[in-house]
Structure 1
C-alpha cells in the first residue's frame, strides 16, 4: 500500500509539473537581427515616469471641488502633448507591467516558478538598446533590466527595500526620495566631466519609478486621502523634474517625456486580476516628437469616462501597454526591443509621414523576425510529414507584403504602407501564438490519457481489495501472459524513438511514457473489470440509476464550486436536509438539528464577498469572544473531572485562552497603531510570531481524548487565524469546526444504524493507534458518501472565504500583525497558512473517524491508507468529471476575457492537483496533531503507531 501511495504521489507530481510545459513556457526566442528606423529621430533623450499602482480615473478625474489632483499633468493634456489610456494585460503586477512597458512583451509565464522580481530568461529592452540609461526607484524593479542588459550602460539607484512599509507614516517618501536623488544626480553631473559628457549623448533614457502611490493604495485604499494626496505629490515632483531637465539642457526641444503606470488598483487596495480599475492606466506624453493636443467636438468610446473627466474635447489615444515600448524606441532612434510584440501607435508621433511609415515598416520586420525564428525552431524539431505550417503567413506572402509596403513608401503612399504593415504585424503575432502552442494539444491528450488510466487503476484497486462486488475467481492468482508486457514495451520503444528523432525535451519522455505502465496495470485487472460489470448488471436498475444520479449531481456540484462559490451554499443546504431524508432524525434528534443548524450557518460564507470587503475588526473581536466563551465552557467541564492529568490539562487550556486574548489585543492594537500611522509595534510583532510558532506545539500538550484534543487544536489555530483576519472570515473556522464536531457524532449514529457496533463511546475514545482491532468490515456505499463529505468540506474550507485562483482576492492587511514591510514570499506564506488552517481542522476531524468508522484487518496505517484511497479516488473523479473545463484554447490572441478564462482554468487545475497531493501531507499533519502527546514535565510521551 505504501508503494501505491508513493506511485500515486509520483504520478500526480508529474501531472502537476506538466502544466508548466504545456502552458508556462517562455514565448521568447533569440537570434533575431536588430531593426531600427534609418531616419533621424526627433529626440535625443527620453524621460520615463512610472507611477506604480496609479489608476487612470484617479489621475484624470476632478475632485469634489472640480479641481484636478494633478494640475500639471492636466495642463500637459490640454496644451502640450497627447494622452490616452494604456490597457494592461493580466497579471496586473509590477514586474510584468514594467516588462511590457520597457521591453514590449507581455508576462513571461515561465516566470511563475521563479517569483516576481526578474525574468528567468534574458530579454532585450529599451534600456539595453539605449546608449545609456539611468534609473531610480524600487529595488524590486530596477535590477531586472540592468541584469539583462549587455555591457555596462544601465545604471540603477535604489533605496532600501525596508522603506516600502505599508504601516509607515508617510509612503510618499518613496517618491520624494526618487525626485531628490534625480536632482542631486544632475547637480553632481555639473562638476563631473565624465558624467556630464554621458548625459549629453543622444539615445539616452532616464527612468523614474515612483512606488508611493502603490504603497498608499495597498495600505489605505485608492479612495483614501493618502492615495489622492500622493498623486498631487507626484504631480508636483514631475513638474519640478521637467523644469530641471528643460533648464539643464537649455530648452533644446530634444527631450521626450512619458508619464504612465504599470497597473491600476481595485477599490479594496489590490491588483493582479483583470478588473477595469486594474487594467486601465494613464498615458500622457509630451516633448520632442509628440503631437500637440487635438481639439474635437466629440469622440466615441465604449466607456463614459470622457464626460466624467471633462476631457471629451481633447482627443484620446488608447494603446495596449506593450505599444509604449516601440513608441519610445522610435522617438530616440534605437532598435526596437528584439522580443517586443507592441504595435507602434503612430497617432502619437509629430513627425513626417515618411518617418511614420518607415517606423511602422521597421516594427513589422522586427515582429516578423520573431515569427521566422519561432517557425524555424519548430520546423527543425518536427518530422517533415508531421509539420503543419501557419498557412496564413507563408514565405511567399511575407515577401509579397514587404515588397508592397516598400513600394507604397517609395511612391509616397504612406497611409497604405502603414495599414499594410499593421496587417503583417497581426498575422505575425497570430503565427507566433500558433507555433508557441504547437505541442499543446498533443501534450494535453497525453496527460488526459494518463489521468484516465490512473483513475481507473485506483478505482479497480479499491474495488478489488476493499469490496465484495467482485467474485472470488478474480482474486485467484493466474499465470501472467507475456503478450501484454511485451506489447507495452514495444509501444514504449516506438514512443521513445519518435520523441528522440524530434529532439523533444526530456520531460516529454516522462509525459508520454508514464501512461504506459499505468494502463498496463489497468489491463492486468481485466478480470476485476469483468466481475464489476457483472455485479452491476445484477444490481436493481432503479437503485443503480438513483445512485448514479446522486453521484453525478454531487460531482457536478463539486466541479461547479470551483467556478461558482454559491454552489457550495447549495451543497451545504442539501447537507442540512440529509438527516431528515434518512432515519437519523428518529435516532438522534439533537445531533440532527445541530447538523442542520451548522450546515446552514456555514452555507452563508460562500455568499459573502471575496474581494472588495471592508475590514471590520469588530467581527474579529466577536469571533475571539466566542472562542473565549467556548473555552470557559470546556474549562468548567474539566474542573468537574477527577484524574491525574487535570492540572496539566487546565494549564494547557489556560495557556490557549491567554493566547486568544493576546491575539485579540494584538489585532486591535495593530489596527489602532496603523490608523495613527505609527507602524507595527514591535511587541505586537513578537507576540504574533510567537503565537504562530506555538500553534502546532501547544495542542500536543493536551489530553489525547478525542474531543479535548480536537478542541485544543481549534483553540491554537484560531489564535493564529484571528491574527490573519480582517473581517467576517474570522468566524469561518469556528463554524466549520462546530460542524466537524457534529459530523463526528452523526457518523457514529449512521454506523450504529447500519448494524456495526462500536465498543467505545465518543467521550471515551482517545487518539491512540494502540486500539485493539477485532472487527472486520469491507468498504460500503456509506464510505463513498463519507469520502464525498470530506472532499466537499475540503473544497468549502478552500473557497469558503476566499479564492486563491485570483491574486487580487488577497488582502495584504491580513498579515499586518506579522509584518508591514513588503516581502512577497513571507506575506504569501502567511496567507497560504491562513488558507490551510481550515484544511487542517477538517482533516483532524476526519482523523477521528478512523477510531470508530473503519474496522479492518491489518495495521492502522493500512486502514488510514484505504480510507484515503476512497477520498483520493473521489478527487480523481472530480478532475475527470468535466474535462472540457480543463481544456484551454490554443490561441489566446489579444482577447482579455479569453486570457481571464485561461488563467482561471489553469488556476483551477493547479488547485485540484495541489489538493490531491496535499491531502496525503495534511493527513500526516492531522495524525501528528491528534495522536502525539507531550508532557509539561517528565519524559515526553508519544502514542506511536
Structure 2
C-alpha cells in the first residue's frame, strides 16, 4: 500500500469513527407530526414582552455593587413588590443561539444545528413566536432572523441594527441597547397615529421581543467585573423601566401585559462563554404583570443548597428556579398560545397567579404536549424495527388497553374534576418525568448496537494497523501473495457476514450511515485475519531473538505515558508530571544500557527544557486574563535570541539567508509594537487603529510565504519556520503564550539534537546538513531505492514523543473549556467588529501554530533518523486510537450537563487529532520541502 492510499484509508476510517458520535449521542431530538396542544385555560394576558439581556450573569444582576447599590434598581423593586424571581439554569454550550432556542422554543438544540454557528436554524421547529398572532422584535442581526425564517408565515417581524455596530473594541457598546429601545419607542409612537398598526397591536397573542447585546459585548471587551459591564446593566434596567411605562400608557394600563426578563447565558470572569461553569450557566429570571404571582415573603427563600439568597439580600423573598426550557411553556401559558410542539419544558406553576385548578389543567396540557412527542418518537422507532426485536419503554407500554399514558391522563382529569388538585399535580409531574425519560429512551434506542459496532471498528483498525507494521516493516512478511492465498477461507466467512448484516439493516430501513458503522468492522477484521499467519510468525521470532522483554517494557512505558495523557484531559497539571518523567530520559538510558544517549550539554538542555515546559500546565489557562506585558516580554526575548543566533552561530550562511532572518525578526518586532499600540488603544476606548489592523493582516500573510524563501536544509528551514510562525502567534496572544511557545521550541530543538547525537554515537553516519527534500513523502516501498530501514524499538519512543508533544502543544496554554469558550480579545489586533467565522478562523490558526511546529520537528526527526514515515504514523495512529477508545467508553449521557459535554468534547478532540495529524503532515511537508527561491534551489549549505 503506497502512502496516498494509506492517508485516504486512515482519514476515511477516522472520519467515520468521529462522525459516529453525532449519530450515537447527538441525533436531533426534533420530531414532527404532532397536533398543537393549548393550555386548556383562559389566557391571563393579551400580550407578552420578553427582554433577553445577552451575557448577563445572575450574580452581577442580583448582587450589590461596590458602592452598596443595586445595579438594576427598577427590576429589584419588581422582585420585592410586584413580581417573581429565580435563577434560570442553562445547558452547555452556553452560546447565544442555543440559549435563545431554549428560551423561545423550549428545547435544547441538537449539536448538528449548533455547529452551524449563529445563523438561522437549518431545521424546522416550532416556537412561541411562531404560535403568536404577531411578534415584533428588535436586536442583533445574528439572533432575530432564525426565528423569523423558522416561522410559518410572515408574522414575525424583525428590526436589526447593522452588524458593523458590534465592535468589541469600539468603546461604549451600550449603543446597541440604546438602538433597540430607541427604535421600539419610535415604533409605539408611530402606532399611535397609524390606525392599521394600532389595530394589530390591540389583538390577543402579541409578543414584543427585545434582544439586548450590549452587556455581552462589554463582558467580552472589558470583562464582567468592569465598570462598563455594570453600567450597561444599569442602562438596561432604566430603559426597561421607560419601555414598561410606555407600553402600559399605550394600552391604557389595562393590566393585560406580561413581562419576562432573562438572559441566554452568563459569562466567565475572563470574558468568555460556551462551557459549563456556574457563572456561564446561571442567569437571572424576573417576571411580572398579568398572570404572574406577587412576591411571597418568607423567612427562607427556598430549599436551595447555595447561599445566593443571603449574598443577594433576597432571603425574605421566595425564589423559584427554572430550567431555561421552562420559560417557553410559561410564555405560552401567559398569552394562551399552544405550547411549542418540540418543547420539553415544564410549566413553572409556582410562578403563576391562577387558581389551583387552572394550574393543574395547564400543567396537564403540558404533559399531553410532551406525550405527543413521545408517541411520534415511539412510532418512528417501531416502524423501522423488526417486530420481534422491538423493546418498548416499559413504563409507558402501548400494548395495554387503554395505553398506560392515556389511562393516566384520564385519571388526572378525574382528580382535577373532583378537586384533588395536589394529587393531580403530583401525578402530572410524574407523568411528565416518565414521558421525558421515554423520549430519551427512544432517542438513544440504537445506542448500544451502534456503540458496539464502533468499538469493534476501533479494535479492528488498531489490529489491522499493527498487522501492517509487522508485515511491511519487519523482515517477517516477505511473501505477500502466499499470505493472502493461505487465508482465502476467511473471505467466504466475512462476505457471508457482510451480507447478513446488510439484509438485517435493510429490513429495518436504517439510515445509510448505519451500514457504514456495521460493515466497517467486518472489512477491518477481514484485513487483519488475512495477516494472521504473519502475526504468529512475528511472535515466534520475538521469542527466539529474545526481544520479547524489551518489546513488553517499551510498550508498558508507552501505555503508562498514554494514560497520563488521557488523564491530562481532565487534569492538565498531569502533563507536568509527564514532562518531569521525560526529563529523566538520559538517566534511564544510562541505567538501562550503560551509556548516555547524547553529550552532557545536550542531556542537560533536554532535562532543563522539559522542566521549563512543565511549568505551563500548572498555570491558569491563557484565556483567563490579559497580561500584555508578558506578550511584549516574549517578543523582545525572541528578537534578542534570534539576532544572537543569526550573528553568533549561523556565521557561515549566505547573506541572502541572513537578510531573510533579519526581515523575519523585524516582523516580530513590528508584531510586538502592534500588540502594544492595539491594547493601549482598546483599553483607552479608542478602538482598533487602522495602521495596526493593516500591519497584523500583512504580517499574517507574509509569514506563510517567507519560510519558502529559505533553503530546505534542516536547521535553516526550521529556523525560518519558527521565526515566521512567531509573528502571527504574538499578534494572537494575550498573556504567556509566547513564553510557552519559546519553551516548547527549545524542547523540540533538544529532542532533535538528542536524536542526532544518539544516532551519531551508535555509529550511523548522519550529516548535519541533511535536507528535508531527502526525506520527502517517502513511498516506503520495499523495492524502492528511497526505502530506509525496518522498524526499531526507538521508533515507538519517537512516535510517543510526537503524540505527547501534540497534547502539550494545546494543553500547555488551554483546556477543553478554552475551545468551547468565545473570547474575542485574542483577535483584537486583526478585527474588533463581530464576525464569528473570521474570529473563529483566527483563533483556530493560533491553536494550529504549535501543532505545526511540533509536526515540522517530527518531520525533521523522520528525515534525520531515516525512519519509515508511514510506520511512524501507523504507531501514532495506534496510540491516538488507544486514547480515542478510552474516551469513547468514558462518554456519559447522565450526570451534570457539564460532565456530559466534557466527555463528548474529549472524544471529539482525540478523533480530530487523528485526522489533523495526517493533514498537518501534508502541510508540514509543504512548509519544509517547498521552495519559492529558485535562485537557491538545491543549495543545502549556504
Question: In which range does the TM-score fall when normalised by the shorter chain?
Answer: over 0.9
Residue 39 (structure 1) shift? 2.5
* Structure 1 residue 259, shift from structure 2 partner: 0.9
1:749 corresponds in structure 2 to: 757
Distance 1:12 1:540, change over 3 A: closer
Is 1:737 aligned to residue 745 of structure 2?
A: yes
Once the 2 structures are TM-superposed, how far is the Cα of residue 406 of structure 1 from its aligned partner?
0.6
Shift of 1:10: 1.4
Contact 1:101-1:324 within 8 A present in 2 as well: yes
Partner in structure 2 of residue 767 of structure 1: 772
Q: Secondary structure at the match of 1:516?
A: helix
1:237-248 to 2 correspondence within 5 Å?
237-248=239-250
Matched, 1:867 2:878: no
**CA shift in 2, pair 1:657/1:75, >3 Å:** same
SS, match of residue 865 in structure 2: coil
Q: Quote the residue 1:228 is aligned against.
A: 230
Give the distance between the partners of 1:76 and 1:889, measured in 2 at CA: 41
Does the residue aligned with 1:852 lie in a helix, a strand or coil?
helix
In 2 relative to 1, CA 759–403 (structure 1 residues): closer, same or farther, beyond 3 Å? closer
Structure 2 residue runs of 5 or longer lacking an equivalent are 777-783
Cα 1:934–1:941 shift into 2, 3 Å:
farther
Instruction: Kindly indicate whether the alpha-carbon contact (under 8 Å) linking 1:446 and 1:512 is maintained by their aligned counterparts in 2.
Output: yes
> Aligned in 2, Cα 1:81/1:707: closer, same or farther, shift over 3 Å?
same
Aligned partner of 1:712 in structure 2 is: 720
Q: Does 1:526 align with 2:504?
A: no
**Contact 1:28–1:339 (CA<8 Å) still a contact in 2?**
yes
The answer to which of 100-109 and 529-538 deviates more is 529-538
CA apart distance, 1:330: 0.7
Match of 1:99 in 2: 101
8 Å CA contact 2:816, 2:902 repeated in 1? no
Q: Describe the SS at the equivalent of 2:451.
A: helix
Distance in structure 2 (CA, Å) of the matches to 1:514 and 1:444: 13
SS at match of 1:409: helix
SS at the partner of 2:870? helix
1:835 maps onto 2:860 in alignment: no
The equivalent position to 2:200 in structure 1, one of 198, 201, 205, is 198
Inter-partner Cα distance in structure 2 for 1:808 and 1:288: 39
| Cα distance in 1 for residues equivalent to 2:539 and 2:115 | 45
Shift in Å at residue 419 of structure 1?
1.6
Alignment of 1:600-615 (within 5 A): 600-610=611-621, 613-615=624-626
The equivalent residue for 1:308 is 311
Distance (Å, rounded) in 1 between the aligned partners of 2:855 and 2:488: 44
Aligned: 1:349 with 2:352: yes
Give the whole-Å Cα distance in 1 for the aligned partners of 2:690 and 2:608: 42
Determine whether 1:327 maps to 2:330. Answer: yes
**Equivalent of 1:503 in 486, 496, 509:** 509
Q: Distance in 2 between matches of 1:854 and 1:738?
A: 23
User: Do the aligned partners of 1:484 and 1:520 also contact (CA within 8 Å) in 2?
Assistant: yes
The residue aligned with 2:811 is: 799
Select the residue among 447, 454, 458 that pairs with 2:465. 458
Q: Aligned residues, how many? A: 921
SS of the residue corresponding to residue 866 of structure 1 reads helix
Please name the residue that 1:934 is paired with: 932
User: Which residue matches 1:628?
Assistant: 639
Decide whether the 8 Å contact of 2:775 with 2:863 is kept in 1. Answer: no
Q: Which residue of 2 aligns with 1:11?
A: 13
1:237-272 deviation digits (Å, cap 9, x = unpaired)? 000000001111000010111111111111111111
Tell me the equivalent position of 1:858. Answer: none
Residue 903 (structure 1) aligns with:
901
CA drift of 1:83 comes to 0.9
Contact kept, 8 Å, 2:126 with 2:151, in 1: the verdict is yes
Partner of 1:441: 448
Change over 3 Å in CA distance of 1:474–1:551 after alignment to 2: farther
Superposition pairs of residues 541-940 of structure 1, within 5 angstroms: 543=550, 546-583=553-590, 585=596, 587-610=598-621, 613-637=624-648, 640-641=651-652, 646-753=654-761, 755-760=762-767, 762=768, 764-769=769-774, 777-804=789-816, 806-854=818-866, 863-880=868-885, 882=886, 886-890=889-893, 892=894, 895=895, 897=896, 899-935=897-933
Aligned counterpart, 2:432: 425
Deviation at 1:850, TM superposition (A): 2.9
Give 3-state SS (helix, strand or coil) of 2:774's partner: coil
**Which shifted more, 32-41 or 380-389?**
32-41
Deviation of the 1:888 alpha carbon: 3.0
Counterpart check, 1:375 vs 2:373: no
- Partner of 1:133: helix, strand, or coil? strand
- Tell me, in whole angstroms, the C-alpha distance in 1 between the residues paired with 2:86 and 2:327: 12
- CA shift, 1:600, in A, is 0.4
Query: Displacement, 1:770?
Result: 8.1
8 Å Cα contact 2:760-2:766 kept in structure 1 = no
In 2: Cα distance, 1:354 partner to 1:499 partner? 50
Q: SS at the partner of 1:315?
A: coil
Q: Which residue number in structure 2 is paired with residue 60 of structure 1? A: 62
Deviations 1:837-888 (A, max 9, x none): 0111111112112333026xxxxxxx323332232233233334x36x5343
The answer on whether the counterparts of 1:611 and 1:808 sit within 8 Å (CA) in structure 2 is no
Distance 1:472 1:938, change over 3 A: closer
Q: Quote the Cα distance in structure 1 between the aligned partners of 2:407 and 2:904.
A: 40
Deviations 1:170-204 (A, max 9, x none): 10011010100010001111121111110010111
In structure 2, C-alpha distance between the alignment counterparts of 1:482 and 1:767, rounded to whole Å: 42
User: How far 1:537 sits from its partner (Å)?
Assistant: 4.1
CA distance in 2, matches of 1:941, 1:639: 19
Partner of 2:354, secondary structure, is: coil
Deviations 1:250-308 (A, max 9, x none): 00010111111111111111111111111111111111111111111223321111111
SS at match of 2:772: coil
Give the 4+ runs in structure 1 shifted more than 6 A: 471-475, 770-775, 939-943
Deviation, 1:810, is: 4.8
In 2 relative to 1, CA 774–38 (structure 1 residues): closer, same or farther, beyond 3 Å?
Answer: closer
2: CA distance, partners of 1:171 / 1:432: 43
1:681-700: per-residue Cα shift (whole Å, max 9, x none)?
11111111111111121011
Partner of 1:84: 86
TM-score (normalizing by structure 1):
0.94
Deviates more, 1:277-286 or 1:544-553: 544-553
Measured after TM superposition, the shift of residue 477 of structure 1 is 4.7
Instruction: Please state how far the C-alpha of 1:219 moved relative to its aligned partner.
Output: 0.5
Q: Tell me, in whole angstroms, the C-alpha distance in 1 between the residues paired with 2:772 and 2:658.
A: 19
Q: Distance in 1 between matches of 2:882 and 2:820?
A: 30
Q: 1:178 pairs with 177, 180, 184, which one?
A: 180
Following superposition, the deviation at residue 121 of structure 1 comes to 1.0
- Deviation, 1:37, is 2.4
> What are the ranges of 5 or more consecutive residues in structure 1 without an aligned counterpart?
856-862
Per-residue CA deviations over 1:588-618 (Å, capped at 9, x if unaligned) read 1000000011010011111111266321111
> Per-residue CA shift, 1:736-781, capped at 9, x if unaligned?
111111111100222234x341241x2x233332899799532111
State the distance in 1 between where 2:773 and 2:795 align.
22
Give the Cα–Cα distance (whole angstroms) in 2 for the partners of residues 513 and 778 of structure 1. Answer: 33
Cα distance in 2 for partners of 1:377, 1:210 equals: 40
SS in 2 for 1:271: coil
Q: Secondary structure at the match of 1:259?
A: strand
Give the Cα separation in 2 of the matches to 1:471 and 1:328: 70
Partners of 2:364 and 2:483 in 1: how far apart? 73
Q: Residue 75 of structure 1 aligns with which residue?
A: 77
- Rounded to whole Å, the distance in 1 between the matches of 2:925 and 2:648 is 26
Contact 2:118-2:143 at 8 Å conserved across structures: no
2:22 & 2:204 partners in 1: Cα distance? 42
User: Greater shift after overlay, 575-584 or 165-174?
Assistant: 575-584
Distance 1:464 1:940, change over 3 A: closer
Provide the C-alpha distance between the structure 2 equivalents of 1:942 and 1:489, rounded to a whole number of angstroms: 55
Q: Distance in 2 between matches of 1:654 and 1:548?
A: 45
Distance in 1 separating the partners of 2:365 and 2:32: 18
Rounded Cα–Cα distance in structure 2 between residues aligned with 1:418 and 1:218 = 43
**Which residue matches 1:860?**
none
Given that 1:886 and 1:909 are in contact with CA atoms closer than 8 Å, whether structure 2 keeps it comes out as: no
What's the RMSD between the two structures over aligned residues?
2.1
